[in-house]
Amino acid sequence: MTTRVGFIGLGHMGAPMCARIVGAGFSVTAFDLAPAALAVAVLEGAQAAGSAAECAQAADVLITMLPGPPQVEDVLLGSGGALAAMRKGSLAVDMSTSSPALGRRIVDAAASHGVAFIDAPVADALKAREGDLHIFAGGRAADVAVARPVLEAMGKPDRVVHVGPHGAGYTVKLLVNLQWFVHAAAAAEALAVGTRAGIDADTLYTAFAAGPARSSFLENEALEVLRDGEYGERFPLGLVTKDLGLALDLAHDSGVPAELSAVTQGLYHQALDKYGSAAGEMAVVRLYEDFAGTPLRLLHANGR
């Protein structure tokens, strides 16, 4: 029997994720508040639902991929009514970047309806269309096993990782994002200082990317700025600052001082104030370009 999947949230990430599930042969019903996004999903083989609750009613596995905790809460627990509409024995999977605190409330609400729940946020936005996402699943092992065939339509088996109990997926994802944002700010600062000190960007990039300070950011996303002049608008700065706020909340709750994270958050808020919420996730590089008074660009075709 084919697993029936409901998919709510067809944005920049959700749309290609939904398409991957359809392409893997699952029966998919989709919903989004944006009619145009829903129309695209239908063209790719999904059935359209008229509401979040309708999308959830017939699903064996319901996936939500939403901008943040307020939307997740509204769809699953609030006016969307999705969780209450699900059948007993079905499974809800939230793949949004959200908070462990909200996750605990969803677990309790799901249990009261006889529904299982796991949090399974994702990383590597550029690889959503190729089905090569990293997926961090938190919840009971048996529930993760039920979700795994659907999750593996979006991420390769070795990239779908059960990281712990409920909330662990949210936690790991927030910390992965936090490290990436810190790496981006640190690389931008070092490049700006080096440029102002008289070293060309090509030489700096070669030294950084090949040496002990190399990082995934330098080897991949940084080239979008340094080579192409793009700042990652696919992931807007408003969501970056949201994720940073959630990560700082997590640090506060853990009792661990997060001074480096707080400085990084301050830099991204400067970029937000200067460029607006629609600016890209690498607007912090643009901020350092403004500090240095010069764009950071490679003169030669370095990198991939």
- Residues annotated as catalytic are 173
Three-state DSSP class for residue 233: coil
- Say how many C-beta atoms besides its own lie within 10 A of residue 241's C-beta: 17
Helix axes 168-196, 201-210, angle to 10 degrees: 140
Instruction: Give CA–CA dist 115/223, Å, rounded.
Output: 44
The type of residue at 177 is N
Instruction: Give CA–CA dist 49/62, Å, rounded.
Output: 13
Instruction: Give CA–CA dist 285/283, Å, rounded.
Output: 5
- Distances from the Cα of 163 to the Cα of 113, 143, 160, 166, angstroms: 25, 13, 9, 9
